[in-house]
Structure 1
């Protein structure tokens, strides 16, 4: 990986961290308990509860993604940054650009 690619990747990771933190804040608001005293119908309350569980699952996924992005940013100064943790080969830049939190190359994922 060239220094220019590494700098671009670090910028992408930082941007994704900010986007993910923002999404976490929104999802945290959406996962607050559904109030029983709200004057909504039975079906609307069931929809709200269902939406809450969907948002809770999304929140868990976003928190996992944030942790992986932060780990990638921490590893960025090291020599092994951008290398597969299984085989040690360099992960193609296109894959890292799309999924900067990935730690394995395509061959080692499957």
Structure 2
């Protein structure tokens, strides 16, 4: 497994995730009761805010895991499943670099 390529991939994912977090934070601003948008529209805005806040929490969690994975790239056990100890396929590491488990153990 090419550690430089994995490190670059993690860096790219971190940048994308940080950008998503910024967007979600902007979208999750409070819904002001002073806005004359109507009762149904206000309820819709509040519902959308809840969905955005959930996405924001997930993105922050992913960012934390990505940063942890970036710090672990040079460790000997990086790319090995935490549960079974087998090598995690390179494509899985490329798609989900923050996951410490192989596909079978992640289920």
Q: TM-score range by the shorter chain?
A: over 0.9
2:24 is matched with 27
The answer for the alignment partner of 2:58 in structure 1 is: 61
Q: Which runs of 5+ in 1 are unaligned?
A: none
Task: Return the match for 2:8 from 7, 11, 15.
Answer: 11
Q: CA deviation at 1:97?
A: 0.7
Give distance in 2, aligned partners of 1:94 and 1:23.
23
Structure 2 length as normaliser, TM-score? 0.95
Q: How far does the alpha carbon of each residue in 1:39-67 deviate from its partner, in whole angstroms, 9 at most, with x for none?
A: 11111111100100000000010011001
**SS of equivalent to 2:65:** helix
Shift of 1:107: 2.2
SS at match of 1:16: helix
1:1-110 alignment to 2 at 5 Å? 1=1, 5-110=2-107
TM-score normalised by structure 1 residue count: 0.92
Moved over 6 A (4+): none
Where do 5+ consecutive residues of structure 2 fail to align? none
Q: Aligned equivalents of 2:48 and 2:84: distance in 1?
A: 41
Q: How many pairs does the alignment contain?
A: 107
